[in-house]
Amino acid sequence: MSDVNPNRTIEIAGTDLVFRTVPMRDRTPSGGQIALAAGFESDEYVYVLQLLDDGELEDVRHRESVPLSDGGRFLVALSDRSYRIAFSGEALDWPARFITAATLRKLKNVAADKGIYLEKTDEPDIALDEEELINLDEAGVESFKPGKLVGPKKQTVRVKHLGELETARFKVDGPITLAELWDQAYRELEVTRTERDVLQANTAGGPVSLMDHLSLSLEAAQRQGLCDKKFEIAARTGGA
């Protein structure tokens, strides 16, 4: 039986796990062939992982050939190293410095009615937001597990409009994004947004701009040390 089939295909995704179909004539391609099929150049540092039919991930070296009968889906990313993580006690290597709960959910087929937790040794495990970035470049191996989906926790926040000298206090759910919190603040303050308005955190060290973090949930921003529960709406300085 010929190893070459012009109609053979494989599925390739990056670390976003969005798969696309590409042609692969060889039924035992090498890591280098798979990287080329994904659109990378031969001199680039590319990390290739085969998603086996049993759900496990296995790295594929540049000159190593793997049978497509074990699995025809591959993760291919520009990276010169991998990061060891664990999920439910099983170790796997990830070719990016960051990973999200949403990616782990897709990678390990975790049901929508389950949460994803970052396991901690000397403190309670942390329930992760779906799009929260977890830095894998910290010391040690980050361990994750599925668990009970936690309902939203209410927090009371304070938002001061520096131009109108008005302050509002109101309750929000922890999973609310900073953008949604900002929108709600205008309703609570009964103030109209202007194009020069910016949202910032009121911290002990001074104001911290949140404009690059509006997609984060309040809880994720708090865990990253960007804010607490005090916010300000200020006018953008500089520029037209």
Are 44 and 71 in the same domain?
A: yes
Task: Determine the 3-state secondary structure of 172 from DSSP.
Answer: strand
Enter the pTM of the model: 0.59
CATH of the domain at 193: 3.10.20.90
Are 131 and 160 in the same domain?
A: no
Domain boundary among 96, 128, 148: 148
The domain of 180 spans: 154-235
Are 46 and 118 in the same domain?
A: no
Q: How confident is the model at residue 161 (pLDDT cuts 50, 70, 90)?
A: very high
Total domain count, the chain: 3
Are 35 and 92 in the same domain?
A: no
240 is a domain residue: no
Q: Name the residue with tokens 């202007």.
A: 194
2 is a domain residue: no
3 is a domain residue: no
- The answer to whether 33 and 46 have CB atoms below 8 angstroms apart is no
Q: Name the residue with tokens 């010169």.
A: 80
Which range, 5-14, 125-134, 136-145, 179-188, has the best average confidence (pLDDT)? 179-188
Task: Determine the 3-state secondary structure of 5 from DSSP.
Answer: coil
Are 115 and 59 in the same domain?
A: no
Q: How confident is the model at residue 154 (pLDDT cuts 50, 70, 90)?
A: confident
Give pLDDT, residue 113: 82
Q: What is the mean pLDDT of the chain?
A: 90
Task: Determine the 3-state secondary structure of 143 from DSSP.
Answer: strand
Are 65 and 88 in the same domain?
A: no
Task: Determine the 3-state secondary structure of 102 from DSSP.
Answer: helix
Q: How far apart are CA 69 and CA 48, in angstroms?
A: 17
Are 221 and 161 in the same domain?
A: yes
Q: Write the pLDDT tens digit of every residue in 57-112.
A: 889 999 999 999 999 999 999 988 889 999 999 998 999 999 999 899 999 989 88
169 is a domain residue: yes
201 is a domain residue: yes
Give pLDDT, residue 238: 57
